[in-house]
Amino acid sequence: MAEIGKDIDYAKDVLSDGGIVGVPTETVYGLAGSALDTGAILKIYKAKNRPQFDPLIAHTNRIDKIETWVHDFPLKAMQLAEKFWPGPLTLLLNKTDAIPDLLTSGLARVAFRIPNHPLTLELLSRLDFPLAAPSANPFGFVSPTQASHVEDQLGDKVDYILNGGKCRIGIESTVVGFEEDEVIVHRLGGLSVEEIEEVVGPVQLKLNKSSNPEAPGMMKSHYSPGIPVIIGSIRDEVEKLKDRKAGVISFSEFYHDAQVMKVLSPTRDLHQAAKNLFRVLREMKDEEVDVIVTEKFPNEGLGKAINDRLERSAAS
Ligand code: TXA
Ligand code: MG
């Protein structure tokens, strides 16, 4: 099993030697390696069992560093970066040759993000290369929101896990690209569409439901908790499933008939619900339920990203 700790110097040494490290961010934990080192990138794909046609996000701590690795930074991209970084926003920018094609699966754009976590920001400030860091889960499964989740699933494959506690946001970053003057949201995430629109005006949604050359990784079936997921009216579904062990994940209400009951936010706070979602999906496995029953969340703010993840879980 990998060592878990808070030793930034050690993490830096491992990464500088081409190793891979589990790192905390405010969204989910990432599986990090040098984004300029094809050997480290290959280790990440292999550890995650991720197909190489699914590109990785690069992380760093300063916009001026990113400017040395991309050809241009569109005005609207800069407005979003200045407003929301460090934070749960990933920007697709035209890459220079310094960025290996393996990182972007041969695509012309590279995904960049400045994450908002003190340990990882400190680590990034000590590195002169960006860190490739997809979510630190095996391909197709639920993303990790605490160090123990990384250890459970990838503990024998990583060189070290930097422990930054529980992720504050709990759902992955929002992925945004730019075409002509249009702003395109490719993945719903921890920064809401409404917040983005306040800065750059109306955006287009091009969510990738299936294999797609724009963002080949965002397959419809993903976020598998390893148990069937049903989305609907919780009361009706629990009634129908009487002879099976159903685990309910509700937004705010408690259902007495459910055998296992997890409420994501009694006060109906979508941020709190997002923060708890992936942990609760994992806990259902420990509860050994036969089926997970959940509901559609309000289609606003982070509710859109929560619904996206639940639909993908149900399709997996
Ligand atoms: O919050 C996050 O974004 C987390 C933390 C660790 O930063 N990372 C994360 O990475 O969720 P990952 O690899 O699980 O998801 C990255 C998504 C994938 O859906 C991938 O297809 C897309 O971003 N992506 C990465 N590079 C891309 C590119 N060059 N063009 C289009 N989509 C890209
Ligand atoms: Mg992922």
* 109 Cβ inside 6 Å of ligand 1: yes
- Are 86 and 66 spatial neighbours (Cβ–Cβ below 8 Å)? no
Asked if 26 and 161 sit in the same domain, the reply is yes
Does any domain span residue 130?
Answer: yes
Asked if 23 and 165 sit in the same domain, the reply is yes
Q: Tens digits of per-residue pLDDT, 231-284?
A: 999 999 999 998 899 999 999 999 998 999 999 999 999 999 999 999 999 999
Asked if 237 and 303 sit in the same domain, the reply is yes
137 C-alpha to center of ligand 2: Å? Answer: 7
Q: Cite the DSSP H helix spans in 157-226.
A: 193-200
Domain finish residue from 125, 150, 172 = 172
* 170 Cβ inside 6 Å of ligand 1: no
Does any domain span residue 202?
Answer: no
Cβ neighbour number for residue 80 with a 10 Å cutoff: 23
Does any domain span residue 107?
Answer: yes
Whole-angstrom Cα Rg for the chain: 19
* CATH code for the domain in which residue 118 is found: 3.90.870.10
pLDDT of res. 216: 46
Long-range contacts of 262-266 (CB under 8 A, 24+ apart): none
* 217 Cβ inside 6 Å of ligand 1: yes
172 C-alpha to center of ligand 2: Å? Answer: 8
Total domains in the chain come to: 2
pLDDT of res. 220: 62
Does any domain span residue 221?
Answer: no
pLDDT of res. 223: 87
* 116 Cβ inside 6 Å of ligand 1: no
Ligand nearest to the CA of 215: 1
Does any domain span residue 93?
Answer: yes
Asked if 120 and 246 sit in the same domain, the reply is no
Does any domain span residue 292?
Answer: yes
| DSSP β-ladder status, 109-113 and 89-94 | antiparallel
Does any domain span residue 98?
Answer: yes
One-letter amino acid identity for 176? V
Asked if 243 and 147 sit in the same domain, the reply is no
Query: What is the position in ligand 1's atom list of the atom closest to the CA of 173?
Result: 1
Encoded tokens for 250: 């509700």
- Are 155 and 144 spatial neighbours (Cβ–Cβ below 8 Å)? no
Does any domain span residue 259?
Answer: yes
pLDDT of res. 284: 96
- Are 37 and 196 spatial neighbours (Cβ–Cβ below 8 Å)? no
Domain finish residue from 172, 199, 218 = 172
135 C-alpha to center of ligand 2: Å? Answer: 4
Ligand nearest to the CA of 185: 1
What is the 8-class DSSP label of residue 126? T
Asked if 153 and 277 sit in the same domain, the reply is no
Asked if 162 and 38 sit in the same domain, the reply is yes
* CATH code for the domain in which residue 296 is found: 3.40.50.11030
Cis peptide before 86 (omega within 30 of 0): yes
Asked if 137 and 72 sit in the same domain, the reply is yes
106 C-alpha to center of ligand 1: Å? Answer: 14
Asked if 45 and 137 sit in the same domain, the reply is yes
Asked if 241 and 155 sit in the same domain, the reply is no
Domain finish residue from 172, 187, 203 = 172
Which residues of the chain, if any, have pLDDT below 50?
210-213, 216-217
What are the CA-CA distances from residue 209 to residues 160, 309, 315 (Å)? 33, 11, 10
Asked if 252 and 157 sit in the same domain, the reply is no
Full residue range of the structural domain in which residue 91 is found: 4-172
